[in-house]
Amino acid sequence: MNWAALSVELAVCGWILVMLTADLVLPTKHRGSLWALALLGIACAAWLLAQQPQISVAMPGMVIVDPFARYFKGLFLLTVGVVIVMTRTSGRGLPNTGAFYILLFTALLGTLVLASMRDLLMLFLGLELLTFSLYVMAAYLKTDSRSVEAGMKYLILGSVSSGFLVYGIALLYGFAGSTDFSVIRAALDRGPWPLTAQAGFLLILAGLGFKVGAVPFQLWVPDVYEGAPTPVVALLSVGSKMAGIVAMLRLLTGVFLPAQAVWAPLLATIAAATLLYGNLGAIPQTNLKRLLGYSSIGHAGYLLMALSTGSPSGSAAIGYYLLAYLFSTLAVFLVIVAASQAVGGDRLDDYRGLSKRSGFLAAVMFIGLLSLAGVPPLGGFVGKLLVLLATVESGRLWLVAVGAVSVAISLYYYLLVVKRMYLDPPASAAAIPVDGLTKAVLAALVLGILAVGIVQQPFLRHIIASLP
């Protein structure tokens, strides 16, 4: 056991206890500043992450730290940090934030474990830590029936998918005699792949497909996005999706690479269906969070498209895409959090004339949405370009056509939001105040979007160096 390699996870565990104690000890009037303590915890974890050596084994055969894990751990920490800023602004809506932060940290712990896992059991552990926290957080507004409904739906469908995952793990264990990745890989390399092992693989893929919102396991996404508290939706949209993709990337390019002929066409088909479902489904939506739910399905389609190539350039594209997606999505959700009190709801029409009420919020939303649509000079463009390029290299041109057309479709519904914000007259003329910290974080996210979109080389070099 190498404790130093586990320092980030241990720090997060420790901080859970700190938050728990602080929640108990702090007098009520100071509870409002718990967010600062939570941010401090993220900062500590990030510092520890920076101190870690490039490669180390934490638990032999179970958990390792490699550049790939460190890259994604950094992204997870960043995501949770921004989500904490969101809870601060929407704190009036969230009762008992102390307990919320504890759940946020357990979810974070789950994602950190996922980034480092070398064993199917760790995969299960990490995913369940993440999703169990999310079940509770989705239903966190106990008095809001939509939030409870969202939590309930997520719980039921999520536990079914966990069942798939466990069953798949059991079947693979029966095949290889171990849950260790290297043992399974060795067994695969040795020879024929029995039907049970194939079934096990497919079941695991189904379980992970649920987490990223891939067709045909995507039905929960719009409902949960609509009902759950906005900071939780942001975490679901970025953290949970990224965790699922990271796990898939580890499994497909690490363990199951010899079986590429089996899963590549399957993933390509799923990717095309996911792209079309998400992007076409978003068009008629009238609720902004629901629309973003559908659009997040579309983004899962692009990520699966890159996964289906199984090539290093596909993996690099995923790394880049997720970075741009993180900045853009978090910026959009932070604007929603900052504006929701003033505009009074999540309907698209509530955002009418936002540019006149707060030019800053509208501009950030504009940039975030266009980056999601893949418009240069914003980050999302480069991510999409790399994904399409990797897919052309893999020779699956029909999939490229689907992906390219989806860009134009997605631009349509993102522009429908822009139309509300810029073209339509506002319902009320009252200006929307934005506090300093939110403004600073939004500005930083926009800078991130622009940096990823314009100076690609440093990011790309780092990502390529981090590939497993």
Partner 1 sequence: MAIPLPLLILLAPALGALVLCMVGSGRDALVRRIAVVSTSVSLLGALLAIMRYDPAAGGYQHELLIPWITAPRVAFHLGVDGISVVLVLLHALCAFTGVLISYAIKERVKEYYVFYLLLITGVFGVFLSLDLFFFYFFYEMAVIPMYPLIGIWGSDVKEQGVVRFSKEYATMKLTIYLTLGAVVALFGLLWLYVSSGAGTFDIPELQRHFALQPLPETLQRWIFPLLAIGFGVIAPLWPLHSWSPIGHAAAPSAVSMLHAGVLMKLGSYAIIRVAIGLLPAGAHAWMPVVAVLCLMNIIYGGFVAMAQKDLKLIVGYSSSSHMGYVLLGIACLTPLGMSGAVLLMFAHGIMTALAFAIIGAMYDQTHTRYLPELGGLAHQMPFLATCGVIAAMASSGLPGFANFVAELLVFLGGWDAYRLQVVCGVFGVVITAVYMLRFVRGTFFGASKPAFAHVHDATTPFARLPYVILIGALLIVGCWPQPILRIIDAGTRPLMLLLSVPQ
Contact positions vs partner 1 (CB under 8 A): 355, 359, 370, 375-377, 381, 385, 388-389, 392-393, 397, 400-401, 404-405, 407-408, 411-412, 415, 418-419, 422-423, 456-457, 460-461, 464
Task: Please provide the DSSP assignment of 25-49 as one string.
Answer: HS-GGGGGGHHHHHHHHHHHHHHHH
Report the amino acid identity of residue 58.
A
**What's the chain's length in residues?**
468
For Cα atoms 397, 373, 241, give the angle at the middle one, nearest 5 degrees: 85
| CB of 247 or CB of 335, closer to partner 1 | 335
Q: Is 17 exposed, middle or buried (0-12, 13-18, 19+ CB in 10 A)?
A: exposed
For residue 312, the minimal CB distance to partner 1 (Å) is 10
Rounded Cα distance between 235 and 107, Å, is: 9
For Cα atoms 333, 337, 342, give the angle at the middle one, nearest 5 degrees: 135
Phi and psi (nearest 5°) for 63? -130, 130
Count of Cβ atoms closer than 10 Å to residue 425 Cβ: 8
| CB of 193 or CB of 422, closer to partner 1 | 422
3-state per-residue secondary structure call for 344-410:
CCCEHHHHCCHHHHCHHHHHHHHHHHHHHHCCCCCHHHHHHHHHHHHHHHHCCHHHHHHHHHHHHHH
| CB of 287 or CB of 456, closer to partner 1 | 456
| CB of 135 or CB of 422, closer to partner 1 | 422
Rounded Cα distance between 319 and 374, Å, is: 16
| CB of 393 or CB of 435, closer to partner 1 | 393
| CB of 36 or CB of 404, closer to partner 1 | 404
For residue 422, the minimal CB distance to partner 1 (Å) is 5
For residue 70, the minimal CB distance to partner 1 (Å) is 21
| CB of 255 or CB of 421, closer to partner 1 | 421
Closest CA to 111 of 152, 153, 166, 69: 69
For residue 375, the minimal CB distance to partner 1 (Å) is 5
| CB of 231 or CB of 310, closer to partner 1 | 310
Task: Mention every residue, 6+ apart, whose C-beta is less than 8 A from residue 406.
Answer: 275, 276, 279, 298, 301, 302
Q: Which residue do the tokens 């915890």 mark?
A: 41
For residue 414, the minimal CB distance to partner 1 (Å) is 10
For residue 323, the minimal CB distance to partner 1 (Å) is 15
Report the amino acid identity of residue 193.
W
For residue 71, the minimal CB distance to partner 1 (Å) is 18
| CB of 28 or CB of 457, closer to partner 1 | 457
For residue 30, the minimal CB distance to partner 1 (Å) is 38
| CB of 137 or CB of 390, closer to partner 1 | 390
Question: What six digits make up the tokens of 227?
Answer: 């009902």
For residue 386, the minimal CB distance to partner 1 (Å) is 8
| CB of 15 or CB of 366, closer to partner 1 | 366
Distances (CA, A) of 276 to 286, 307, 391: 19, 17, 17
For residue 67, the minimal CB distance to partner 1 (Å) is 17
Q: How far is CA 133 from the centre of its chain?
A: 15
Helices 436-454 & 456-466 angle (0-180, nearest 10): 80
Q: Is 416 exposed, middle or buried (0-12, 13-18, 19+ CB in 10 A)?
A: middle
For residue 410, the minimal CB distance to partner 1 (Å) is 10
